[in-house]
Structure 1
């Protein structure tokens, strides 16, 4: 059977619509003898029966192993270059108390960007010295708390923040270590990057302002200048963008050395993962080697020491570790007209079927397709089928035509109401961006490991939703 003309050009027509494409699924995901999906040794059907759907499932072994591999890769490359590396887990991807503990147990520090994320990390017992605080609009209360508890590094994002952090540090009798976030003019996405003179964005300051701002930071006895920070984008494949950004940063870094110590350079994160079988992310060992090598070469050219390095992966740690389980509610075939003639068919409109598979979640638990047009994959999770593959679009249950979770993939043609399906690579930015749109409660998050399942975050109930309404008395239920 050939691919549907409604399918995007990158989507491969599978010989077997049950196949779990390795780069997309967590490392313990397999099919059992009956064809059901098993993650972390726990059948998807068991998870759905115990915890309901939609359900976020996090493969603990996968998340831990990726955290460890990323840390070892960058630390090892840095050691070979005669320096050190610190890897921060970017908590915005997904954070819970347990995940914060996993990350620190695997040797990572944690990057937070709000008072709430800071509170979770502290509740997990993370040493504040291993935390970094980001954000373009940190409140006075957030800055004060971060300084008071001893957060290791605060990333300065504007001239106003220099004064705010300096004042808070002086008030608490501390010397607060800070980085300065700058825009290198390099913006990267997947395998492309664009180098310009300036970046039009809300984060950071212009690179040509760095010397002035660093001088202001150094004028405060309550601040210690650690170095520059830059983040060039997200879901990046390849190292070229990082190399170009590092070269620009190190030019300024060398200039800053004339005014005092500049011990470190933070090159941010944004390392990509596979969401579909067409994605080909750069292996972390290759990425680490290429980035550190480019820094080393540039430092040699400039005649300066290689600084301590820092990186901030989030998606690359937790993204592939996650999958979301849904129950199919309805299946609907829609005829879509496609202009004929181009593929040898008769001129005029030719109708092809797009099968809409509607699930019990949607944009409230995965906003990325609606926000960014992000592509995902889908597979049957409760059974195996020998039916021919059919092109499907997985739609949510919300009152929005843009409520799509998977724009295009193939499922067995006998997909039916009541089927359990799984969408992989949902560990990053799905729960974090989730909402209560249409008054749906946010799903539970369950960790699986060695045949056991543990609830990390419980499912929201209707009572949870109603409890915030001041007119609710509880008597109506």
Structure 2
């Protein structure tokens, strides 16, 4: 059987369209004897029966292990060169109360960017001293709240923020640790929107301005300058970009030492992961060795002490630990110049994974509820939204008998899927569940239609739907309502109120 000419050049025709490519899936993912996917010891059919689809699934053991391993590897390699390491989990990748607790348990600090993320971290029991605060446009209220709780550190992203942060710190009688975000000029090998250290973009200041701005920071009695911060981008493979950025930063770091202490250097995050079988991310161990070596060599050449080194990984920890489940609604073969692409539409899309639309991100898809001996066919996994660009998986092969009602799974969706989720077409954001040792529990509940309507300030004329209390993302629950069966049906009220009564 020949590959479909419509397939991208990188996509190989699989010998088995049921096989799970190593390195893409949460660590506990396997197929049962019946061919069904199981994550964390829980079959996907059981997950869907309880929580519906779309559904984000996080392998708790995998996420915890990745966090602990990364911290240990970096601490070990930098101890080899006589340096201490602080690892911050990048909360923007995915944040919930339990996720914060997992990261704290693993010995990581937490990086937040808004008052909302700060509130989640504090609700999880994080000590403010273990939090770092980012953002290119932190409001006065956000800065004030960070100072009020005595945040561990805050990143100065522009000159105007120096006076703002200093005033908030003085108002609350604290001395705040601050970093200055700079752009090293290193362009990460990634999508333009993910590259964050070239000069013409919204984050940070150019390196040439660092000395002047650090002098302004040092002149503020309520601020303590602790070091430079740089983030060169996201989804980066290889260590070369990080090494070059570190080299440039350390030269400025050395010059700043002449004016006072600079105890730390924050090299950011952005370590890449595999989304498809052809992705070859650099193993974390190799990155740690390479970065420790370059820091040691540069400090020796500059004849300066090795500072405390900080990192801010997110995707590499939580991304591979997650998968998303969907139910197939329709299939549609489309002829393109004599070749056929099968469009497989699912009950989610750009509201729960907008990365393909934003960045042209590629993903992998597999049948989740069964295996099949049917020949593989080229598919495009489409969402249900009113956008032609609502594509979840641009190109992959599935067994040719994929059919409505099948479950499909997308690996590597733990990062930047729920956190970027939206309510386009008035779909509720799906629930997030953790699986561990054969059990599943909710991390973040899915939104219901009632949740969406609760934010609408318009006057209510009538109540016309039984669906107000049903998750807008739950096919199984909606099916029960529409067929008049199950606990959510009109004839089986779940409470003594009449919120779901048809009128």
TM-score, length of structure 1 as denominator length: 0.95
Residue 361 (structure 1) aligns with: 348
Residue 241 (structure 1) aligns with: 241
* CA distance in 2: counterparts of 1:325 and 1:358, whole angstroms: 13
The structure where strand makes up a greater share of residues is: 1
SS of the residue corresponding to residue 428 of structure 1 reads coil
Once the two structures are superposed, what CA deviation does each residue of 1:183-209 show, in whole Å capped at 9, x if it has no partner? Answer: 0000213599x9999621100001010
Structure 2, unaligned runs of 5 or more = 465-503
Residue 140 (structure 1) aligns with: 140
Does residue 175 (structure 1) correspond to residue 175 (structure 2)? The answer is yes
Does residue 327 (structure 1) correspond to residue 363 (structure 2)? The answer is no
Aligned-residue offset at 1:150:
1.3
CA contact (8 A) 2:196 2:232 kept: no
Residue 498 (structure 2) aligns with: none
Residue 397 (structure 2) aligns with: 410
SS of the residue corresponding to residue 228 of structure 1 reads strand
Residue 115 (structure 2) aligns with: 115
SS of the residue corresponding to residue 233 of structure 1 reads coil
Cα 1:195–1:391 change in 2 (3 A) is closer
Residue 216 (structure 2) aligns with: 216
CA contact (8 A) 1:190 1:238 kept: no
Residue 340 (structure 1) aligns with: none
* CA distance in 2: counterparts of 1:417 and 1:317, whole angstroms: 33
Match of 1:382 among 363, 366, 369: 369
Q: How does 1:397-436 map to 2 (within 5 A)?
A: 397-436=384-423
Does residue 188 (structure 1) correspond to residue 195 (structure 2)? The answer is no
Residue 164 (structure 2) aligns with: 164
CA contact (8 A) 1:177 1:224 kept: yes
Aligned-residue offset at 1:78:
1.2
Cα 1:268–1:395 change in 2 (3 A) is same
Cα 1:295–1:436 change in 2 (3 A) is same
Structure 1, unaligned runs of 5 or more = 338-350
Q: How does 1:250-329 map to 2 (within 5 A)?
A: 250-329=250-329
Aligned-residue offset at 1:83:
1.1
TM-score, length of structure 2 as denominator length: 0.90
Once the two structures are superposed, what CA deviation does each residue of 1:303-348 show, in whole Å capped at 9, x if it has no partner? Answer: 11111000000100000111000000000000011xxxxxxxxxxx
CA contact (8 A) 2:191 2:359 kept: no
Once the two structures are superposed, what CA deviation does each residue of 1:96-129 show, in whole Å capped at 9, x if it has no partner? Answer: 0000000000000000001100010000010110
Aligned-residue offset at 1:474:
8.1
* CA distance in 2: counterparts of 1:57 and 1:190, whole angstroms: 27
Q: Once superposed, what is the RMSD of the aligned Cα atoms?
A: 1.6
Match of 1:471 among 458, 463, 470: 458
Moved over 6 A (4+): 194-197
Give the paired residue count.
463
Once the two structures are superposed, what CA deviation does each residue of 1:2-35 show, in whole Å capped at 9, x if it has no partner? Answer: 2111111111211100111111101100000000
* CA distance in 2: counterparts of 1:454 and 1:99, whole angstroms: 13
* CA distance in 1: counterparts of 2:189 and 2:65, whole angstroms: 25
* CA distance in 1: counterparts of 2:204 and 2:354, whole angstroms: 26
Cα 1:67–1:453 change in 2 (3 A) is same
CA contact (8 A) 1:191 1:238 kept: no
Once the two structures are superposed, what CA deviation does each residue of 1:45-93 show, in whole Å capped at 9, x if it has no partner? Answer: 1101110000000010111111111111111111111010011000000
